[in-house]
């Protein structure tokens, strides 16, 4: 585990990068089109390169065992989150319930989480985070989107089959999923990348933290939040930043997971609401202002809670 001083230095770096993004958004330098470009750049180029770089390690059975362990943990967490969404949020009005539900199954693990794990554990942590995020990427485009469509008429069998095909196509053609496959092949075969290609992948991978945090700051800076105090928002933060990582930590301890698997799992489980929640709420008629507030407040609070979880694990 990283020393406290190193962790606080990393948190300060992340906070400063976020403030830069916030400032650029407030000044109009990063507008809606700019955020879209940064998002596409991250998802389609930088994150895949970051994932491939994380797999360029020496293959061992310990690595395989850790990868299998964290995949099981992530699958169990996603199932638990789906159950929580089905049973725990019925007291909320639909517009806010859909935000709660999507924000529970989909955190900001891909952007903020991967940057944080990279800073703390390096390539070994990044490899595990890439595996951990596979079930979340599947859930966010399947059951996650369905939360915003609950008021629509029941789909026909043909529509359901088409939806399943679309989910499978989107999942298996997602750049980050493809990067995991490429990375696993490279790790298993131990084939080195050609010099120029390896340096290019590493160069792109190094952009992950800076671009991710600036984008998060820009999303917060452009959010329509209204008044800050909102009990539903802070209750969500308690669930997302407190209860979920606590449940993951307890599960890891009971299962005897090793320290690296436990640390990566808990930190990624403690990530705030993903910015895509506000985008989908806007698209499907959910409470997009409330979603933006949850994204902003949970992200800011995570700068305080994440170091605490890191010290626990």
Please state the rounded mean pLDDT for residues 201-227. 79
Residue 191's alpha-carbon distances to 45, 59, 126, 185, 201, in angstroms, are 21, 11, 19, 9, 15
pLDDT of residue 171: 66
In whole numbers, what is the pLDDT of the chain averaged over residues?
83
Sign for the pseudo-dihedral over CA of 118, 123, 126, 130: positive
Higher pLDDT, 174 or 217: 217
Asked whether residue 130 carries a pLDDT value surpassing 90, the answer given is: no
Q: Name the one residue in this structure whose structure tokens are 């984008």.
A: 215
- pLDDT > 60? residue 1: no
Q: Which of 221, 191, 162 is nearest to 23 (CA)?
A: 221
Q: Set out the domains of the chain in order of their start, with CATH numbers.
A: 4-312 (1.20.1530.20)
More reliable by pLDDT, 224 or 11:
11
Q: Which residue has the tokens 């930190």?
A: 267
250-306: per-residue pLDDT in tens?
Answer: 999 998 889 999 999 999 999 999 877 877 787 777 787 788 788 888 888 988 898
The predicted-structure confidence for 19-73, as pLDDT tens digits, reads as follows: 898 899 989 898 888 888 888 888 889 888 888 887 787 777 788 888 899 999 9
Cα(29)–Cα(52) distance, integer angstroms: 31
Least confident of 132-141, 200-209, 264-273: 132-141
The answer to whether the CB of 97 falls within 8 A of the CB of 22 is no
CA distance 244 to 37: 32
% of residues, the chain, pLDDT over 70: 89
pLDDT in tens, 87-101: 989 888 888 899 999
């Amino acid at each position: 585990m990283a020393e406290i001083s190193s962790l606080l230095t990393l948190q300060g770096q992340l906070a400063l990068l976020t403030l830069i993004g916030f400032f650029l958004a407030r000044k109009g330098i990063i507008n809606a089109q700019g955020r879209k470009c940064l998002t596409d750049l991250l998802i389609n180029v930088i994150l895949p390169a970051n994932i491939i770089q994380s797999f360029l390690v020496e293959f061992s059975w310990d690595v395989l065992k850790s990868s299998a362990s964290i995949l099981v943990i992530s699958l169990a967490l996603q199932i638990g989150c789906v159950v929580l969404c089905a049973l725990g949020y019925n007291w909320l009005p639909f517009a806010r319930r859909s935000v709660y539900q999507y924000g529970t199954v989909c955190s900001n693990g891909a952007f903020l989480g991967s940057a944080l794990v990279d800073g703390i554990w390096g390539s070994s942590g990044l490899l595990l985070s890439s595996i951990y995020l596979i079930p979340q990427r599947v859930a966010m485009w399947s059951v996650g989107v369905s939360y915003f469509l609950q008021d629509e008429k029941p789909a026909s069998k043909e529509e359901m089959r088409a939806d399943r095909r679309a989910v499978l196509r989107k999942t298996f053609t997602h750049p980050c999923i493809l990067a995991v496959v490429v990375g696993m092949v490279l790790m298993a075969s131990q084939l080195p990348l050609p010099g120029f290609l390896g340096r290019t992948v590493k160069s792109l991978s190094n952009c992950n933290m800076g671009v991710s945090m600036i984008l998060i700051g820009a999303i917060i800076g452009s959010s329509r939040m209204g008044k800050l105090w909102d009990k539903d928002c802070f209750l969500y933060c308690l669930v997302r930043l407190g209860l979920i990582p606590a449940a993951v930590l307890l599960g890891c301890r009971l299962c005897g997971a090793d320290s690296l698997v436990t640390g990566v799992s808990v930190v990624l489980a403690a990530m705030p609401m993903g910015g895509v929640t506000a985008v989908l709420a806007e698209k499907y008629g959910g409470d997009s202002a409330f979603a933006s507030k949850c994204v902003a407040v949970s992200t800011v609070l995570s700068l305080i809670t994440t170091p605490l979880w890191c010290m626990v694990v």
